[in-house]
Amino acid sequence: MGFHFAVLLALFARDASAATPEPRVELWAGHQVLIGKRKIPLYGQQETHTENYLLAEVRRTSSRIEMRQKVCRIDIRPIKGTLATMKPETVAHIPRSHIVLDEAPDGQLTAAPWSHGWTDDDIDADGFPGATVHINGTCSGDVYISSESQTTLLSGHATPDGASGEESVRLKQKVLGASGLCLKLVAGDSDEVQSGWFDYRRVEPGSTCQSLAGAGKPWPAKAQAPAPAAR
C-alpha cells in the first residue's frame, strides 16, 4: 500500500509540474500613439501627437506578460511649423522600460502603473546633460532634457500573437540647458497628460529595430484608435 501511495504522489507531482510550464520567451514589435496638450511659447496650448516604435523582449505565461522594451524610433508631429527630433544614437540610449501585465483567462489585461525616464545623466554621451532634442523652427538649436513618465493601463486585451489597448501617460520633462539665446529664453519645463493607444505583434526571434524598419517594410504593429462607443 505504501508503495502504491508513493507512486501516486510521484505521478501527481509530475502532473502539477506539467501544469505550470516555464514562461515562453518571445519578441514583440510595438507601436504607441500618444496625444496631449502642451503650452508652447508664443502659441499657448497646442495639441501634441507622438508615435513611438518599440521592440520588447517578452516572458509570457498563461496569466502574466513581462516586457522589457526599448525605443526604436520617435516621431513627433510638428507644432506651428516647429519640429522636434532626436538623433538615432540618442534614441538608442533611452533606458529600457519594464512592464508587467496580468492576463485573465479571457485575455483581458490589467497592470499596476509603471514609470520610465532618465535624469540629468548624459545618456547619449554627447557632452550635454540628459538627452538632446533638436528643434527646427522659429527658434532652432538643441535642448537638453530629463524625462519622467508614469503610464496607467486603461484597458487592454491579449491574443496569442500580441496585445493592444488604451493608456494614459503623465509626462514631465525638465529643460537642463539649450543652445542659442532664443531657445534659452523660450524653452521651459512641461507637465503633460497624454492619452493614447498601443499595439504589439510577435516577430521573428533575432529581429532588430533596423531589420524591422528596413527595405521600406511597414512596421509590424499598428496602433488604432478605438471605435467610438455606440449610443
Mention every residue, 6+ apart, whose C-beta is less than 8 A from residue 43. Answer: 79, 80
The cell numbers describing 228, all together, are: 467610438
Distance CA 36, CA 195 (A): 6
Q: pLDDT tens, 210-227?
A: 999 986 789 999 999 877
**Has residue 126 got a pLDDT over 90?**
yes
What's the pLDDT tens digit per position in 81-119?
Answer: 889 999 999 999 999 999 999 999 999 999 999 999 999
Out of 10-14, 57-61, 179-183, the most confident range is 57-61
> Does 6 map to a domain?
no
| Long-range contacts of residues 205-209, Cβ cutoff 8 Å, at least 24 apart | 205/26, 205/27, 206/27, 207/27, 207/29, 207/55, 208/55, 209/53, 209/55, 209/70, 209/72, 209/73
Q: Is residue 9 part of a domain?
A: no
3 part of a folded domain: no
Confidence at 138, pLDDT banded by 50, 70, 90 = confident
Q: What is the pLDDT of residue 19?
A: 52
> Domain tally for the chain?
1
Is there a domain that residue 29 lies in? no
Give the pLDDT band (50/70/90) at residue 154.
Answer: very high
Amino acid at 215: A
- Rounded to an integer, the average pLDDT of 121-150 is 95
4 falls within a domain: no
In whole angstroms, give the CA distance from residue 205 to residue 227: 32
Chain mean pLDDT for the chain: 89
Q: What is the pLDDT of residues 48-94, one digit of tens each?
A: 999 999 999 999 999 999 999 999 999 999 988 889 999 999 999 99
Q: How confident is the model at residue 16 (pLDDT cuts 50, 70, 90)?
A: very low
Is 89 among the domain residues? yes
Asked whether residue 1 is domain-assigned, the answer is no
What's the pLDDT score for residue 80?
Answer: 85
pLDDT score for 165? 97
7 within some domain: no
Q: Which domain holds residue 74?
A: 34-216
Q: So what's the pLDDT on residue 220?
A: 96
